Amino acid sequence: MTANVLSIAGSDPSGGAGIQADLKTFAALGTYGMAAITALTAQNTRGVSGVHAVPPAFVAEQVDMLFADIRVDAVKVGMLGGAAVVAAVADRLRRHRPESVVVDPVMVAKSGDRLLDEAAVETLRGQLLPLATIVTPNLPEAGVLLDRAAPADPEAMRRAAIDLHAIGPRYVLLKGGHLAGICSDDLLFDGSAFLDLPARRVSTKNTHGTGCTLSAALAALLPQSPDVPQAARAAKSYITAAIAASDRLTVGQGYGPIHHFHAVWHGGARL
């Protein structure tokens, strides 16, 4: 049975991140994708020029309509923007109780533009993270969530994962891409055991939407996997290959997108 996966996130008109990246990822990994839009953005591969927030009540209405009609096997939560939307999404997740919830605490775009206001961080900590099956911060986001400096080495990553887990998610997947070196290793923690998710760093500037894509991959793979560690390994493999194939695309002049369909596209369509 094909899994139905919902993304609750913002829109990226350039197609590399946000809802657009999530739907591509869901399709590439064999699931049926759905979307509840939290914000419209004006952006491209070089930056974000504007954000238009969707009213919290309408975000909640989108979610309610989907759960009223469609079996939802997993939910990915991405860009929320403000405290009221965070609270509305948390309320709906408590009401509908999906089996798997992946929370990507989107705070800053690849270009450096802020996507989550400071007032929302406490609401995210207090209301949304305790509902998460797995939370997927990068190192700067981990620093913001823990109100301290971002982890700067593998040992600090382990301490941060322990402290993030104490907030309430079942699993923490801490992304290590901001560390220096030839590796881009992530770390999964379930409250008692660590699982290293190693990968060699890919030399490319085409990394727009990597965080969105990894969390979407987890949401797509959790209903298809026997456990969270296997889903995390598969998601890490997918995102690494998508980054490695990104240079096949020619999109934009800034941080280009990764190749969501790297394993699907084999040349152009023949009409």
30-40 per-position pLDDT tens digit: 999 999 999 99
pLDDT one-digit tens code per residue, 121-141: 999 999 999 999 999 999 999
pLDDT more than 90, % of the chain: 81
**Cα–Cα nearest to 93, from 71, 64, 134:** 64
Average pLDDT over residues 219-243: 97
Token pair for residue 186?
């992530």
| Model confidence at 69: pLDDT above 90 | yes
d(CA 187, CA 166): 16
Average pLDDT over residues 83-106: 97
Average pLDDT over residues 77-88: 95
Token pair for residue 21?
């990246």
Strands 194-197 and 47-53: unpaired
pLDDT band at 203 (very low <50, low <70, confident <90, very high): confident
177/223: higher pLDDT: 223
Contact predicate 30/225, CB 8 Å: no
- pLDDT, residue 266, reads 73
Cβ burial 242-262 (10 Å sphere, 16+ → b, else e): bbbbbeebebbebbbbbbbeb
pLDDT band at 215 (very low <50, low <70, confident <90, very high): very high
**Structural domain boundaries in the chain:** 4-248
216/184: higher pLDDT: 216
pLDDT band at 271 (very low <50, low <70, confident <90, very high): very low
- CATH homologous superfamily of 4-248: Ribokinase (3.40.1190.20)
- pLDDT, residue 116, reads 74
- The mean pLDDT value of the chain amounts to 92
Q: Which residues are catalytic?
A: 175, 207, 209-212
Q: Which of the given ranges, 66-80, 104-118, 190-204, has the highest pLDDT on average?
A: 66-80
pLDDT band at 270 (very low <50, low <70, confident <90, very high): very low
pLDDT band at 230 (very low <50, low <70, confident <90, very high): very high
Average pLDDT over residues 207-231: 96
